[in-house]
Amino acid sequence: MPIRVMLVDDQVLLRTGFKMVLAAQPDMEVVAEAGDGAEALEVLRAHTVDVVLMDVRMPRLDGVEATRRICREGQGGPGNPKVLILTTFDLDEYAFTGLKAGAAGFLLKDVPPDELLSGIRSVYSGDAVVAPSTTRRLLNRFASMLPVTRATDHPELEQLTDREHEVLTLIAQGLSNGEIARKLFVSEATVKTHVGRILAKLHLRDRVQAVVLAYETGLVQAGG
């Protein structure tokens, strides 16, 4: 079964361009479109969608609030699809709040076609972070938006082993599983096991939430 994708953007030409790219892929299908967040919620109730490409700045209901309702309030219809935020990066400081709202990651609007396709496939397969280094740059840029918390406010961090703590730090620094494996001289499969245990112990949905938590608690500093 192909990956069922929904496009949500108030720019018709942008949706058309993305749709052309996706339609050429045998493993993808655009099953729905919407021009703003409110329409997206309505359309999602009538369609089964795997991945939503969600713009941030839209009329009526913006992409952040739409993402929050899809991911946290179960208003996205059956299956609760993964959401990828679309951002221009230079302007969209709201991309970070999109991640906080539950988005699986984000893509730049001018992303090359191969990266767009790779990002959709990665998120569909469960790898929430589309581009770890880009996520780090975004968080560094908008670190002032982070709520100030302390590690002591998150006692679950104490459940991590020394190695898991090390892996969490490297995830937050923007390293991929492969890069972490090479840095720690272990196999990539071992890193994946550590990541799974970290998410389970911290009650996190995905790697993006792990990155956010690491920044919030000061485990990783902006620009560090």
How far apart CA 163 and CA 195 sit, in angstroms, is 10
How far apart CA 78 and CA 180 sit, in angstroms, is 35
User: Is residue 97 domain-shared with residue 14, that is, in the same domain?
Assistant: yes
User: Is residue 154 domain-shared with residue 93, that is, in the same domain?
Assistant: no
User: Is residue 67 domain-shared with residue 10, that is, in the same domain?
Assistant: yes
What phi and psi, each to the nearest 5 degrees, are found at residue 55? -70, 160
User: Is residue 103 domain-shared with residue 64, that is, in the same domain?
Assistant: yes
Give the domain CATH number at 30. 3.40.50.2300
Domain contains 138? no
Contacts of residue 18, Cβ cutoff 8 Å, sequence gap at least 6: 7, 9, 30, 53, 116
Q: Which of 62, 97, 130 is the last residue of a domain?
A: 130
**Block residue for tokens 């709520």:** 147
Q: What's the domain range around 20?
A: 3-130
User: Is residue 91 domain-shared with residue 177, that is, in the same domain?
Assistant: no
Residue 140 has a pLDDT of: 63
User: Is residue 107 domain-shared with residue 156, that is, in the same domain?
Assistant: no
How far apart CA 67 and CA 54 sit, in angstroms, is 8
* Contact status, residue 98 vs residue 54, Cβ threshold 8 Å: yes
Domain contains 187? yes
- Three-class DSSP category at 66: helix
**Phi/psi-derived region of residue 187, left when phi > 0, alpha when psi is between -120 and 50, beta in every other case:** beta
User: Is residue 29 domain-shared with residue 122, that is, in the same domain?
Assistant: yes
User: What is the C-alpha end-to-end distance of the chain, expressed in Å?
Assistant: 42
Q: Which of 99, 130, 161 is the last residue of a domain?
A: 130
Domain contains 139? no
Residue 77 has a pLDDT of: 46
Domain contains 19? yes
How far apart CA 123 and CA 127 sit, in angstroms, is 5
User: Is residue 124 domain-shared with residue 149, that is, in the same domain?
Assistant: no
Contacts of residue 147, Cβ cutoff 8 Å, sequence gap at least 6: 216
Contacts of residue 70, Cβ cutoff 8 Å, sequence gap at least 6: 40, 41, 44, 52, 76, 80, 81, 83, 102
**Phi/psi-derived region of residue 40, left when phi > 0, alpha when psi is between -120 and 50, beta in every other case:** alpha
Q: What is the mean pLDDT of each run of 10 residues along the chain (224 residues)?
A: 94 92 94 94 91 90 89 60 79 66 80 86 70 59 58 76 93 83 94 92 82 78 58
User: Is residue 99 domain-shared with residue 201, that is, in the same domain?
Assistant: no
Query: Domain count of the chain?
Result: 2
Q: Which two tokens stand for residue 210?
A: 């792990």
User: Is residue 55 domain-shared with residue 104, that is, in the same domain?
Assistant: yes
| Burial class, 215, CB count within 10 angstroms (exposed 0-12 / middle 13-18 / buried 19+) | buried
Domain contains 71? yes
User: Is residue 199 domain-shared with residue 107, that is, in the same domain?
Assistant: no
Domain contains 224? no
Domain contains 136? no
User: Is residue 114 domain-shared with residue 153, that is, in the same domain?
Assistant: no
Domain contains 28? yes
Beta strand 105-108 with 51-55: parallel, antiparallel or unpaired?
Answer: unpaired
> How many helices and strands, by DSSP H and E, does the chain display?
10, 5
Residue 125 has a pLDDT of: 75
Give the domain CATH number at 195. 1.10.10.10
